[in-house]
Amino acid sequence: MASETVDRPGLHRREFARLLTLGGAGVLAAARAEGWSDPPPLGQVPAEKDEKFWTAVRAQFLMPPALASLNAANLCPASRRVIDAMFASTRSVEQDPSSQNRQQTQQGREEARRRIAQALRVTPEEIVITRNTSEANNIVSSGLDLRPGDEVLIFSDNHPSNHAAWREKARRFGYTVTVVEQVNPHPGPDYYIGAFTKAITPKTKVLAFTHVTSSAGDLMPARELCRLARERGVLTLVDGAQSFGVLDVDLADMRADFYSGSAHKWPCGPKETGVLYVNARAHALVAPSVISLYAGAVGISKTLEAYGQRDEPAIVGFSEALAFQGEIGRKVIEERARELTAALIEGLRKIDGVKVWTHPARERSAAIVSFQPAALDVRKLHEALYRSDRIVCSTRPGADRGGLRFSPHFYNTHAEIDRALAAVAKHVRAGL
């Protein structure tokens, strides 16, 4: 950031102007009250554990220090530099909406495609910039030519966009859907490789599963399942909503045919931007469901990304989010999220009556932990954690591994994890 300052301590001239434009004096006053100033520089990414570095990462986000958001699986905040990039681009379009000026943001969209491809270790020609994972999954289930006699194999713990969507399209197009059931606790990668191997038949055309489930955070052996499918001539759709932006995903190694993700989850990008990866060998197999103008410039985006006018400044923000994570390092971010999750699992297990649904082994989970908080009413606990302890999380209502879900990310600190554990222990002890 530039170093010019204005007469308000800690507020930056650029930020000052931006706040005024955003919402006038009210927004500025709110920012001042929160002591919004330039975040400290990140400095070198440490080779060893260093909480100071992660505290500096935390300061790159607008959330006030008192708020601990352990809800990355649902929605992540965008960092300041993402908001700045998006705002600068939005402002430019609004100041000069000419097609000449918008060429810049269109170039930003292609730059985003290159960054997404680089993050996932594939080529820009294989990337479609979507609105979110739901849309990406549905592009696949609507676009493949499946007919009566064909079979699609799905996982019972898939999100509706990769579960209900296949069932609905099977009803319309006359093919069948077979389900491999989830088992709790996660019985290990070999169990699922065996279960999917048994379930594949000569009629199976697609295998659609979730890389990391949103329920208990079960990690599926994606690489092995993709290999199994490939050897049998079956296409794979891997739902990456809970792995993109947190695991160091290598699609060149996984070799899925399709992989989907959302920028507004773990990548900490703007809302309503996402990705569909389409392996080059599957390009000819997917027909576009939306046909309009303003396609992407290269590869599969020329056919599957002609959605009409886009919010290109949001896509520019997506690109910035990936640049930010790339500078810290994707492996470093994965290890940090795993470390915080391990601390949560360990702490929750020590609280009397708490039942943790997530298996702690590295090959069975990633950065999501769900648990039954003894006999407490889950909705009341969710409210109490937010209102009195300033901890954000999700509820998992229902009989199937019901309870609460914590999903920490690289912007969380160990102090926040300790605070969440202490708050759960306090409520379990005292009741609600």
Check: CB of residue 273 under 8 Å from CB of residue 129.
Answer: yes
Q: Does 133 bind ligand PLP (CB under 6 A)?
A: yes
Q: Which of residues 199-238 bind ligand PLP (CB under 6 A)?
A: 210, 214
Cβ contact 222:237 at 8 Å: no
- Interaction between residue 72 and ligand PLP (CB under 6 A): no
Interface of this chain with ligand PLP, residues 146 to 165, rule: CB under 6 A: 159, 161
What is the nearest approach in angstroms of ligand PLP to the Cβ of residue 357? 15
Helix (H) or strand (E) holding 348: helix 330-349
Which alpha helices (H) appear in 61-207, and where do they start and end?
A: 80-95, 99-120, 133-143, 164-173, 189-199
Region from 24-32, 80-88, 128-136, 330-338 binding ligand PLP, contact rule CB under 6 A: 128-136
Run of H or E including 391: strand 391-392
Collapsing DSSP to helix, strand or coil, 208 comes out as: strand
The nearer residue to ligand PLP, 214 or 301, going by C-beta atoms, is 214
Contact yes or no for 240/211 (Cβ under 8 A): yes
159 vs 396 by CB, closer to ligand PLP: 159
Whole-number minimum distance, CB 83 to ligand PLP, in Å? 19
CA 388 → CA 234, 296, 320, 427, 428, distances in Å? Answer: 50, 47, 34, 11, 14
Candidates 89, 90, 105, 132; binder of ligand PLP (CB under 6 A) is 132
Is 407 near ligand PLP (CB under 6 A)? no
Q: How far is the CB of 271 from ligand PLP (least distance, A)?
A: 9
Contact 77, 93 (CB under 8 A): no
The distance of closest approach from Cβ of residue 177 to ligand PLP in the complex, given in angstroms and rounded to an integer, is 17
Judged by CB under 6 A, does residue 319 bind ligand PLP? no
User: Within 244-283, which residues bind ligand PLP (CB under 6 A)?
Assistant: 262
**Which residue in 160, 205, 152 sits closest to 179, CA to CA?**
152
**Is residue 82 part of the contact set for ligand PLP (CB under 6 A)?**
no
Residue numbers of the site for ligand PLP (CB under 6 A)?
132-134, 159, 161, 210, 214, 239, 241-242, 262
